[in-house]
Structure 1
Amino acid sequence: MTTFEDTFFEQLSYACSEAKQAYGQYIGMSQARLQLLTSLSQQSEISHAALQQRLALDGATVTRLVKQFEAEGIVSRRLDPQDNRYTLVTLTPSGQQIVAGLKETHAAFQLRLLEGIPREELETTLRTLQRLRANLRDAQAEEKA
């Protein structure tokens, strides 16, 4: 017999997964490409190694994505002048324009997903998710202790 809790977590998981997939289709970009661009927009310049760690992707995937973006004129790369073992990546002006467009598209997508849901329900859901995340952090802290 399926419990309420089972149903809750199943629906939460499906909602997250489907939203990510739908957004990727909406903008025509994979989640990994989107995450890489978002990370680059938050840093003026970042190393491949830092991108790899931040995105939790293997080095080969980060290198492949960066090379694709470089070929498209979205990013530029250069050797780190302080340690030439590292490659630094930054958004080009074209890449910055793409990220700005993605932010506008993201806002429109969010509005579309939330359409027809009363504000009170959204506020309740937000409080529930915040509490859920706090419980997760507490559980993780207890496991480490």
Structure 2
Amino acid sequence: MKDSMDNSIIDKLQNFYIQLISQFGHCTGVSPSRFRLLHKLYHVDEINQTTLQKELQIDSAAITRHLKQLEGDGIVTRRNNPDDNRFTLVRLTELGRQEIVAYREEKILFMAQLLQGFSEEEQKLFSHMIERMRNNITKGRNEE
């Protein structure tokens, strides 16, 4: 019985994740990973691309793809670090700052829809449970 419950939970989480990612992108106009990247850039003046990649835990090829596309769209600028040409510095453009504000507003609407009908207590409990699961995963990786 426990095994089927475990499988049911993981199946539900996987299905939820797929639907969540799809709907988040549809509602906000940007993928969750790109949203995280832009949100991070919004809170810094400029950041080393490698530092950004490590902080967001995105592989280096993916961060480069994201940034090249965003640069092509005029959302970010990249330049060589004048103190060390081996590193690339990234920053949001003014257009990028305007875009992230709009994305954040859409995220608020999306979250209101997602959590509709859940009490504040249920939301806190759910958040706590997710954090516990995340900690369990982290703890399990550290024990390996």
Q: Could you state the TM-score of these two structures normalised by the residue count of structure 1? A: 0.80
Distance 2:45 2:27 in 1: 27
Contact 1:36/1:55 (CA < 8 Å) preserved in 2? no
Contact 1:70/1:76 (CA < 8 Å) preserved in 2? yes
Distance 1:120 1:35 in 2: 26
The AA in structure 1 aligned to 2:134 is: R
Q: Tell me, what secondary structure is at the counterpart of 1:3?
A: helix
Identify if the C-alpha distance between structure 1 residues 13 and 42 changes in structure 2 by more than 3 Å, giving closer, same or farther.
Answer: farther
From 51, 57, 60, the equivalent of 2:59 is: 57
Identify if the C-alpha distance between structure 1 residues 131 and 52 changes in structure 2 by more than 3 Å, giving closer, same or farther.
Answer: closer
Corresponding position: 1:40 with 2:50: no
Q: Tell me, what secondary structure is at the counterpart of 1:44?
A: coil
Any runs of at least 4 consecutive aligned residues in structure 1 with deviations exceeding 6 A, and if so which? none
Counterpart position of 1:77: 78
Counterpart position of 1:134: 135
- Give the superposed CA RMSD: 2.3
1:106: how far off? Answer: 0.7
Distance 1:135 1:32 in 2: 22
Structure 1 unaligned runs (5+)?
Answer: none
Contact 1:45/1:89 (CA < 8 Å) preserved in 2? yes
1:32: how far off? Answer: 4.2
Identify if the C-alpha distance between structure 1 residues 49 and 141 changes in structure 2 by more than 3 Å, giving closer, same or farther.
Answer: closer
Q: Tell me, what secondary structure is at the counterpart of 2:85?
A: coil
Distance 1:48 1:137 in 2: 25
The AA in structure 1 aligned to 2:58 is: A
